[in-house]
Structures are given as structure tokens and as C-alpha cells.
Amino acid sequence: MGLGIDNVAHDATGLRIGIVAARWNAALVEPMLASAVEELRRLGTAAVRVIRVPGAFELPYGAKCLMADGDCDAIVALGAVVRGDTPHFDFVAGECARGIARLNLSWSHDWRGSRPQPGPPVIFGVLTTDTVGQAEERADPERMDKGAEAARSAVEMARLRRNCADDIAEFEETP
């Protein structure tokens, strides 16, 4: 577990969570994926859908495909980018982060078609490290367990999205 705050009660009952996982750096991504799925099941999620993309650069597109289905309350993007000797790391990690941020800031119309609302939150579960050792530590469920951490973030943000939608509906109905 990281140094962040993790004292929220995570209840995934009734939630449908999508996960888009990169195949590149599979030795790092697969433990995070397994841990994320296990954590979501432990928290009581109704459904988990997993899709794969080639690498971290493609994660935003995979997340957008899951968003387009309209079946996900939140989406977790899992990948790993390890710094090398070339600027490739900066391009891949930066554009992946930027793409996911853009998805989180995009809006769609609700089922009534009248009020724009945020789409499902997309959680940045992408390791961006200087060394393979750092990435292994973060991906390992017995050490930092970033897969389970991303799953808990997805549940928290999905609940926030539902609560905000409920609050807006209540506000509109108040005379």
C-alpha cells in the first residue's frame, strides 16, 4: 500500500467495472490485473470486463471503447512504462496520461439527453518507473499492490459519480 489515504469503505455492490490492460510488459501488468480483478470481486462488484490492448499508448483508446459501450461505472487502465535510454518513455507515458486525463474531463449527455454529465471515471493504473525493479515492487500484490489500489480507486470514483448524479437530480426536483 502506498502513502496515500485509503480509509474509505469500498462497496462495489452493483457496480460494473471495466479494465483495459496492456500486453506490453506483461510480466508487470498481469499481476496487477489479477490483483485488481480479485479485489473487485472481494468488494462485491456485479461484473468485471477485461479487454487487452498492445501497450500503454493504446490504453486511452481501449478505455474509450469501454466507455462507448455504456456498461461500465468506472474503468481501470493498467500498464507499465519503464524508462530506458531513449526519450520513448516520455512520449509513451506522457501521452498515455494525457489521453486518460482527457477521457476523465469529457462529458456526455444523460439518458434524458438534456444535461451533460461526466462519463465513467478512468483510473490511471499505469506504472511509470525508472527501473524494472521499481515496477516489480509496485506490481507485486505482496508489496505495493498497485492493481488492487487502482481497483479501489475505481470503486470510490464510481460511487462519487453516482452520488453526484443523484445530488443533481435532487437539486433539480427541489422547488
Measured over the CA atoms of residue 45, residue 6, residue 81 and residue 96, the dihedral's sign is: positive
* Helix spans in 12-125 (H): 26-42, 59-69, 88-105
Q: Which of 23, 41, 42, 88 is catalytic?
A: 88
In angstroms, the CA 31 to CA 137 distance is 11
Q: What is the number of other CB atoms lying within 10 angstroms of the CB of residue 10?
A: 18
Q: Which amino acid is at 91?
A: F
Q: Is 88 a known active-site residue?
A: yes
In this structure, what C-alpha cell is assigned to residue 141?
500484490
Residues identified as active-site: 88
